[in-house]
Amino acid sequence: MSALRSARKTATRLSDGRELIYFDESAGAGRGTPDTRGLDPIQVSSELRRDPLTDEWIVVASHRQTRTYQPATAACPLCPTTSRDNLSEVPVPGYDVVVFENRFPSLTADAAGSHDDDPVFARRPGVGRCEVVCFSDDHDASFASLPPARARTIVDVWADRTAALSAVPGVEHVFPFENRGREIGVTLSHPHGQIYAYPFVAPRWARMLETAARHRERTGVNLFAEVLAAEQEAGLRVVARTEHWTAFVPAAARWPVELHLYPNRHVRDLTELDDAERDDFAVTYLDMLRRLDALYDAPLPYIAAWYQAPVRQHRNDAYLHLQLLSTKRAPDKLKFLAGSESAMGVFINDVVPEDMAARLRSG
């Protein structure tokens, strides 16, 4: 059920042709206000190159070197447009939630380039779509500071965009996510997330789904459902369990702070969440973010990533869930990916998962 329960959806275009969509919790005025910046059409250089050693696609997007980097608040491109001197990506003086095509996309629908199936140097155009999701028009807000009603709207927006992008020709995997904090590498501090529509299934998710498929063939059981049930039964790492969601620190956590949120009912993607599950997620997730920010008495830098069924592959092996991770291992220390992690993919965690779960439960 991907329909919006309460938000009013209005689509328009920016001056360079990119799509902009307003999601208003009440009737939005002036949603047809034009973008007067007179932008030239974006010039995108995006190419996929296959690594023959790992069979993974790498995105090469050199135009992103010129993307906006940590601008002053007065020049934030995600704030609403308040005057002729502050023309932003959103040409209205206020909004609730807004989605638009990224001005510096890694993937785009009209990517040009050659399609070469050379066994060593395979390459393709970087076809796909990258969207920005602004959670609020308040530059100083964060997801954690939003009211439950706004978090609920955002869940609806994620579901709406999952349905829309899954229908785009060539898209195989829709990935909503949020990066928060300079320590993570965030270039714009305005509260926002992104959605990538990949023309392939992302490598980490593909590997997890292949493992799940083998498990199903061997046992007849969904692997993710089995992991959830085992964590619920063990209880040691469960941070919260509500009527519809369970939040836990995984037994084999890779990161100092790692939290997974699963719906208690098996659903494949965001569009399949019912109203009660969406309502409960909004409240539960805000509670988890509050607990995470209390860990070190400061806003926690994190990446929050939705794992949902690909458009066509392994749909019944997938189990929708959100993974949130942070590189912060102490109030004044970050975990950097060094030799073992970066070169070999073998993670070494300095924090015991059961200890982290206990701290979050008491937060």
Domains of the chain: 8-200 (3.30.428.10), 205-362 (3.30.428.10)
Residues 42, 17, 150, 76: what is their CA dihedral angle, to the nearest 10 degrees?
40
When the pLDDT of each residue in the chain is averaged and rounded to a whole number, the result is 94
- 325 SS3 class: strand
In tens, the pLDDT along 316-334 reads 999 999 999 999 999 999 9
Confidence of residue 164 (pLDDT cuts 50, 70, 90): very high
DSSP assignment, residue 62? G
In tens, the pLDDT along 295-316 reads 999 999 999 999 999 999 999 9
Distance between CA atoms of 129 and 106, rounded to whole angstroms?
8
| Backbone φ and ψ of 353, nearest 5° | -55, -40
Question: Range with the lowest mean pLDDT among 43-47, 270-274, 320-324, 340-344?
Answer: 43-47
Q: State the pTM of this model.
A: 0.95
Distance between CA atoms of 150 and 135, rounded to whole angstroms?
8
Measured CA to CA in angstroms, residue 98 lies from 76, 90, 133, 150 at distances of 15, 8, 6, 12
Distance between CA atoms of 61 and 164, rounded to whole angstroms?
24
Does the annotation place 130 within a ligand binding site?
no
DSSP assignment, residue 40? P
Distance between CA atoms of 307 and 292, rounded to whole angstroms?
20
Confidence of residue 1 (pLDDT cuts 50, 70, 90): very low
pLDDT, residue 28, reads 66
In tens, the pLDDT along 173-199 reads 999 999 999 999 898 999 999 999 999
Confidence of residue 57 (pLDDT cuts 50, 70, 90): very high
Residues in the chain: 363
Confidence of residue 3 (pLDDT cuts 50, 70, 90): low
Given a cut of 60, whether residue 135 has pLDDT beyond it is yes
| Side chain identity at residue 264, one-letter code | N
Name which of 322, 306, 326 is nearest 176 in CA terms.
306
CB 288 within 8 A of CB 335: no
Q: Pick 223 or 70 by higher pLDDT.
A: 223
Does the annotation place 139 within a ligand binding site?
yes
63: annotated active-site residue? no
CB atoms within 10 A of CB 82: 14
Does the annotation place 76 within a ligand binding site?
yes
Name which of 323, 261, 257 is nearest 292 in CA terms.
257
List residues bridging with 38 in a β-sheet. none
Confidence of residue 279 (pLDDT cuts 50, 70, 90): very high
Q: For strands 238-241 and 173-180, give the pairing.
A: unpaired
Distance between CA atoms of 225 and 279, rounded to whole angstroms?
22
> DSSP letters along 199-222, please?
SS--HHHHHHHHHHHHHHHHHSS-
Place of tokens 């997620």: 281
pLDDT, residue 2, reads 47
Does the annotation place 190 within a ligand binding site?
yes
> CB-based contacts of 169: which residues, under 8 Å, 6+ apart?
none
Distance between CA atoms of 174 and 194, rounded to whole angstroms?
11
Given a cut of 70, whether residue 29 has pLDDT beyond it is no
Name which of 237, 158, 164 is nearest 192 in CA terms.
158
Kindly provide the b/e burial profile for residues 342-360, where b requires at least 16 CB atoms within 10 angstroms of the residue's own CB.
eeeeeeeeebebeebbebb
State the greatest distance between any 2 C-alpha atoms of the chain, in Å, as a whole number: 63
Give the active site residue among 115, 173, 192, 314. Answer: 192
In tens, the pLDDT along 209-236 reads 999 999 999 999 999 999 999 999 999 9
Distance between CA atoms of 76 and 88, rounded to whole angstroms?
7
DSSP assignment, residue 116? B
Measured CA to CA in angstroms, residue 97 lies from 7, 10, 20 at distances of 9, 11, 11
